Structure 1
Amino acid sequence: MSPVVSTISKDYELKIINTEVIVPALPMQQRILSLSNLGLTIPPVSVHVFFYYKNHLTRTFASTLSHLKTSISKVLVSYYVSAGRMVTDSIGLPKVHCNNKGVRLTQAYAAAALSQLNLYNPDESVQGKLVPSLSKPFQEDGIPFFAAQVTEFGCGGIVVGCTLDHRVADAYSANMFLTSWAKLCRNDSTVPLNPSITRSILCPRDSPAYCAEINNMLIHDAIQSAANEEHFQSLIDFVEIAKPTPVLAKIYCREDDIQSYVLLSSGLRFSLYEVDFGWGKPTFGNYHFP
């Protein structure tokens, strides 16, 4: 379905009703996890994903919100890493502290209709309004890895906007988290996939080595070589030896001497229509890099 463009989309008013922290339904054992070598190449970058749902709710908005809170508390039992906080070790490396601090959930209201939003320009209609920020601590509990905002519109539609810390969740794992949350919310009996936090599969080899060309690949060479295990193992070894600066920083800084970028993402395989929380499948959804 094609989105409808409106000239007033950037001017609609949004009211924040409430923000709270949701913790795992069961207390999980606290632990410290190291980032993998691939994770160390990623700077503190937030990734947004949002879903639009039409007005065909089978329950009141208050009941919908209650189901979302209960189900996200349950899914955090398996995805307890998402309920943690980032800390720094003695040599300055980031670590994940799995401390059950929880995730942030915001309730909002907009009198506008979904049809008034300019979906062709999420910087205008979504950023700063329909997706929450991870940049500020809430109630002095530190900055979470995940935050969600549920916005009710005057037309009866709903937007669920989520923000994730990319150091902890790539597109594939974000997909697992969101679809598992949706299944629990709609009481789907299918057992959700449990995440793997095993770091051994991303460890450098005993004698780390990488091809010198890995630092200067042409686009077609990069795409072709990225499809095999040796390429990723070389990347892991490259980080172990070279200790490069986070790579995404160069993409977002847009250095003057570089005119264009190619960003490969597993988000292409994102199961959009599996994110059904129980009131119907999303009409539209997308990732958004601010």
Structure 2
Amino acid sequence: MSSRDNYTTIMREREVVRALLPAQEHKLPLSNLDWLLPSVDVSVFFCYYNPKDTWNENFNPAVPTVISTLKKALANTLVHYYPFAGELSRNPAGELELLCNNQGVDFIKAYADVKLKELNLHKPDVSVEGKLVPERKQGVLCIQVTKLQCGGLVVGCTFDHRIADAFSANMFLLAWAEITRGKPVSHLPTFDRSLLRPRQFGHYDKSIDGMYEPLSTPLMRGPNDHHPASRIYYIDADTINQIHSLANRGNSIKGHMQKSKLESFTAFLWQVFAGRIGNEKAKRIKMGIIVDGRTRIAMNHGEEGEQREIHHHVHPICNYIGNVLSIPFGDLSINDIMEKPLSSVADEVQEFLSSALTKEHFTGLIDWVEVHRPKPTLARIYCTSSSGEEVAFVVSSGLRFPLSRVDFGWGRPALGSYHFSWESSAGYVMPMPSPSGNGDWIVYMHCTKDHLEYLEEEVCDVFKPMSSHYLNLES
């Protein structure tokens, strides 16, 4: 069945959901790592098949509806995640802080006259934005639950990125789903800002000056000819394994460490875009990877080089809600990228990424922000030249996110993805696991339209448009 872009979403009801047991009103400062984020909203949405027998179309008061169940569970979830029911305000010094006042979360009930299998999920700009994910008008979180014509359901959430990174949003979503199913919360969050307190005699490596910069304006805009668009693709597991294998060729001879699938994919993306951008006036490409610092900060002295996973109970930072991110990046000329085999480009990825995989990097980054406060700061990869001679892409990773656990009682989602619009000219790529668990990746990509068209023309065997057929929604 062909997709539909011209469907209508009717906002039937907007109300406020507050924490069932509100905490005493207090102010929570933003951490130094929160200061590295611009004012931008990030949305995430989940599509579900028809939750049978749960819509209560006859409005029997003895039968709870999906909406009432979700709202009740949200009120209970906000007991643990009470700052998400607050709002940003400014202290006497003019700095932002989080006022935990139980103002509440905007909760929107909506209806869309489209079937799940008709959604153009390849182009979320037309099918999702403004229709299935809400616009945040107040507070720091907004939620929309949309019933579809077929009985399917879409749950969309929009967060203020300054108070939550993807890890934080994911923890909240998993807790909400657990409480909705009547389960205890697996991992209780912490908002203890002392975990990211600058050191008394702070110091940092000079490499951080090359990664971040103080700004005179909140966010640098890209060139005027920047026409962004968003797409969702899937990459099958065999293709990912092939890219991984190519990126690791020759390691035993050269002595390089084994590259991860994310490092291999990033190197592949770097080369692919070099082929397109080589026909433009751009001469260089920056490629960055977002690093979550929680496991790095949790490492004891001498463990920085280990790649083991830190369990949640080891250190409070592992359940910390806020931003604990850094964005190391490489900067290469088009010619350098094109002349190297994929394995050598992957070496470049591994090299720039290694600079942010230590506890000292994150403690130094905290100290760096302290030196520059209250001036706003931003990752340099987002500040590309307005001349158009350089292009930048940032790769995040949701590959460890257990998508199948975002189950509110009617099964795993058919699809989950992030979506946002922002002002930077840097492209953004977010791979996530397929909810089917078959090893495929779902890849959200936000960059210029011509770069997306190039992907679909030149590497269409890798980046395959998301479709209802792939998600088995045709029947």
Shift of the 254–50 alpha-carbon distance from structure 1 to 2, 3 Å rule, reads farther
Please report how far the alpha carbon of residue 247 of structure 1 lies from its aligned counterpart in structure 2 after TM superposition.
Answer: 1.7
Please report how far the alpha carbon of residue 260 of structure 1 lies from its aligned counterpart in structure 2 after TM superposition.
Answer: 2.8
Q: Hey, what does 1:269 align to over in structure 2?
A: 400
Secondary structure of 2:190's counterpart equals coil
Q: Hey, what does 2:11 align to over in structure 1?
A: 16
The residue identity in structure 2 corresponding to 1:13 is T
Instruction: Give the aligned CA root-mean-square deviation in angstroms.
Output: 2.1
Q: Hey, what does 1:283 align to over in structure 2?
A: 414
Larger-gyration structure (1/2): 2
The residue identity in structure 2 corresponding to 1:125 is S
Please report how far the alpha carbon of residue 110 of structure 1 lies from its aligned counterpart in structure 2 after TM superposition.
Answer: 1.0
Contact 2:10 2:110 in 1 (8 A): yes
Question: Aligned match of 2:98 in 96, 101, 117?
Answer: 96
Percent of pairs with identical residues: 42
Q: Under a length normalisation based on structure 1, what TM-score does the superposition of the two structures give?
A: 0.89
Please report how far the alpha carbon of residue 56 of structure 1 lies from its aligned counterpart in structure 2 after TM superposition.
Answer: 3.9
Question: Aligned match of 1:181 in 173, 176, 179?
Answer: 176
Query: How do 1:1-290 and structure 2 match up within 5 A?
Result: 6=3, 8-9=4-5, 11-60=6-55, 63-134=65-136, 136=137, 143-188=138-183, 190-216=184-210, 218-219=329-330, 220=349, 221-243=351-373, 245-247=376-378, 251=382, 255-257=386-388, 259-265=390-396, 267-290=398-421
Secondary structure of 2:398's counterpart equals helix
The residue identity in structure 1 corresponding to 2:372 is A
Gaps spanning 5+ residues in structure 2: where? 58-64, 212-328, 331-348, 422-475
Please report how far the alpha carbon of residue 246 of structure 1 lies from its aligned counterpart in structure 2 after TM superposition.
Answer: 3.6
| Alignment deviations for residues 36-86 of structure 1 (CA, whole Å, 9 cap, x no partner) | 000011122111000000124231256000000000000000100100010
Please report how far the alpha carbon of residue 160 of structure 1 lies from its aligned counterpart in structure 2 after TM superposition.
Answer: 0.5
Gaps spanning 5+ residues in structure 1: where? 137-142
Per mean C-alpha deviation after superposition, the further-off stretch among 244-253 and 254-263 is 244-253
Please report how far the alpha carbon of residue 258 of structure 1 lies from its aligned counterpart in structure 2 after TM superposition.
Answer: 6.2
Shift of the 193–124 alpha-carbon distance from structure 1 to 2, 3 Å rule, reads same
Greater RCO (Cα-Cα under 8 Å, separation 6 or more): 1
The residue identity in structure 2 corresponding to 1:52 is C
CA distance in 2, matches of 1:256, 1:38: 30
Contact 1:43 1:249 in 2 (8 A): no
The residue identity in structure 1 corresponding to 2:354 is Q
The residue identity in structure 2 corresponding to 1:163 is T
| Alignment deviations for residues 163-218 of structure 1 (CA, whole Å, 9 cap, x no partner) | 01111111111111001001111112x43321111111211111111122222255
Q: Under a length normalisation based on structure 2, what TM-score does the superposition of the two structures give?
A: 0.55
Shift of the 77–253 alpha-carbon distance from structure 1 to 2, 3 Å rule, reads farther
Shift of the 228–30 alpha-carbon distance from structure 1 to 2, 3 Å rule, reads same
Secondary structure of 1:152's counterpart equals strand
Please report how far the alpha carbon of residue 280 of structure 1 lies from its aligned counterpart in structure 2 after TM superposition.
Answer: 1.3
The residue identity in structure 1 corresponding to 2:174 is T
CA distance in 2, matches of 1:45, 1:179: 23
Shift of the 187–271 alpha-carbon distance from structure 1 to 2, 3 Å rule, reads same
Shift of the 259–269 alpha-carbon distance from structure 1 to 2, 3 Å rule, reads farther
Secondary structure of 1:192's counterpart equals coil
Please report how far the alpha carbon of residue 254 of structure 1 lies from its aligned counterpart in structure 2 after TM superposition.
Answer: 8.2
Count residues in correspondence. Answer: 277
